Chains A and B, each alone.
Chain A
């Protein structure tokens, strides 16, 4: 198992004995030559990880303050990168964050340090909670339950591969961007522009209408059609719209 940190990788095997033989590669395979690990990891990040490992150990041993510190440190990132983009609503994402915390508190004793910090593990928990939330109530979001099921599986693979926090965060942000760009690319460019101006850039009706060369009331109709088209492109059923 190696820890992927930004564009470098390091093996935590020398430090921690949590290695599992890869099922994809025979164990007899020659090990990839690696540079001394201090050359492969930013010392500041290494120091941070060591502090995190100590914190996680205390949390595992039942220290509530340590667990609270972990939640306070990583919770806002889970909310911003995992839950809010996938659930599409602040209220729903906050509920999911609360459920994630309850699950983390219940299961933290099972957490195993894998060299890359606590975040990738928390991310998998949050992803599963988000999936449950999305399945329990149909919502208009960028992601559908199938997307989320795939993302949860991918998060588990990321955990297995030891993806660093920053890469996890980048990957989640990128996923939302790709999904949106793909959907906007599938609809008429004028509709896509209306959505970008009015929804994503939050321009005023007057500004957006000016950019599109229509009156504000026409803009309302164009935006209405644009969102309907986008919903269709995202795979949603537009019959719900009154």
Chain B
């Protein structure tokens, strides 16, 4: 640690105001007078070779340190709290939240799909949907009462179905393979099982999200 200025009195230059202030604080401490925390900080700063031991700066600093403390506790913002947080995450091993990650993956993949969709079909598709909706509404009004009664009667069944239909069931893997190419008597097993795993891993994740109620 750097030596305190008072230990170098012989060769020391004329003390500055802050050094004198610090020395006064030290004297107060030595003679039994109370030393408040800012005086203590002034001594510390001097010992550490800081150049901000002035009382006026300390007041400002005290306020700012307090703001920093609250920001570190998540209340308010402070540039140094941002730095502290950056240090923490840079050396930690925080993982991305699974749901957030899944959302990012899907967004990226769907974004490409949306970009690839030919826009010229939109007007036609919209017209079809609008027309169909209009006719459906017309017919729907006539049969509404009957439909509502039917729906009410089948509600328990629908609820039970909703609980299970959302999950992707296990099923034959044949659709994953090209029908026109026979498996052959030798080889290809690893690729086949790899393909099955990839497909079902995706289904499994979808089921998990469905169970969590996010789908």
Direct contact of A and B (CB under 8 A): yes
Q: Chain A residues in contact with chain B, CB under 8 A?
A: 50-51, 54-55, 58, 64-69, 71-72, 75-76, 79-80, 84-90, 93-94, 97-98, 101-102, 104-106, 139-143, 176-177, 179-180, 188-191, 195, 198-200, 202, 205, 214-215, 217-218, 220-225, 227-228, 230-231, 236, 240-242
B11 within 8 A of A: no
Measured CB to CB, the nearest residue on chain A to B58 is A221
Residue of B37, B64, B104, B201 near A218 (CB, 8 A) is: B37
- Which size class do B's interface residues fall under? 35 or more
Interface SS of chain A? helix
With A54-B191, A98-B104, A106-B112 as known contacts, state yes or no: A140 contacts B82, CB within 8 Å. yes
Q: Are B40 and A65 in contact (CB under 8 A)?
A: no
Residue of A140, A190, A198 near B48 (CB, 8 A) is: A190
Q: Are B93 and A80 in contact (CB under 8 A)?
A: yes
Q: Which 4 A-B pairs have the closest CB atoms?
A: A88-B86, A101-B108, A140-B83, A224-B65
Q: Are A90 and B89 in contact (CB under 8 A)?
A: yes
Q: How far is the CA of A142 from the CA of B85 in the complex (A)?
A: 10
Binary CB contact string for chain B from 39 to 77 against chain A (1 if under 8 A, 0 otherwise): 011001100111010000010011011111100100000
Within 8 A of A (CB), among B102-144: 102, 104-109, 111-113
Q: How far is the CA of A139 from the CA of B101 in the complex (A)?
A: 23
Q: Are B112 and A105 in contact (CB under 8 A)?
A: yes
* Chain A neighbourhood of B195, CB < 8 A: 58
Residue of B67, B68, B201 near A69 (CB, 8 A) is: B201
Q: Are B80 and A231 in contact (CB under 8 A)?
A: yes
